[in-house]
Structure formats: C-alpha cells, structure tokens
Amino acid sequence: DSGVTQTPKHLITATGQRVTLRCSPRSGDLSVYWYQQSLDQGLQFLIQYYNGEERAKGNILERFSAQQFPDLHSELNLSSLELGDSALYFCASSRWTKSNSPLHFGNGTRLTVT
C-alpha cells in the first residue's frame, strides 16, 4: 500500500459530461502529480502541485483542470469529455519537489467515456 488514495476506482460517463477525480496524498507529502495512461500507452504527465501551488504543467488539455486544497488533497476536473479521454488516471505524491524525493502512486481511477 503506497498510502496514496484515489477515488473513485472506476467511473463510467457519457461524452460531453464532466467528472472530478480525487487524490489524497501520503501523510506528510506536499507534492501531488497527475498522470494519464491510455491503453498500451506510457504515463503522460499532466500537472504537478506543491503545497497548493501549481508547480509544473505537461500536455494537459484546456478541458482539464486541477487544484490542490489546503489539506493537500487534489482534484482533477475533466470536462466536455470525449471518447479519447477514456484512460487510467494516476495520482502520485512526494515529500518535496526535490529531485531525490521518490514518487508514490495510487492505484488509479479508470475512466470510461461512452
């Protein structure tokens, strides 16, 4: 158990809808990362937050947004959903932003858009 909790585990929704994925980092971790993994694809970096502030951005679509709250949990909002957004979405946390701080991943939210 990594200590990172993601909810829900599974989500099925229709095109055009909006969903919110939630991540609770490991106790004491200040940094949260979001990744998208499509079928047979690698992990695509979306966005990183550190202690409530956006730290780095990857190829995140404009339809997607995220935030990290004062209690350090994070939410990833996906709107105007398309079939191609079906994927596993992983959250990871780390103690700091420093490069010797390992990432710890949750087990992901599987999103299916129909």
Partner 1 sequence: DAKTTQPNSMESNEEEPVHLPCNHSTISGTDYIHWYRQLPSQGPEYVIHGLTSNVNNRMASLAIAEDRKSSTLILHRATLRDAAVYYCILNRDDKIIFGKGTRLHILP
What minimum distance in Å lies between the beta carbon of 98 and partner 1? 6
Residue 58 makes contact with partner 1 by CB under 8 A: yes
For residues 46 and 85, what is the distance between their CA atoms, to the nearest angstrom?
Answer: 13
Single out the residue of 48, 68, 74, 93 in contact with partner 1 (rule: CB under 8 A). Answer: 48
Which x/- pattern, by CB under 8 A, does the window 8-37 give for partner 1?
Answer: -------------------------x-x--
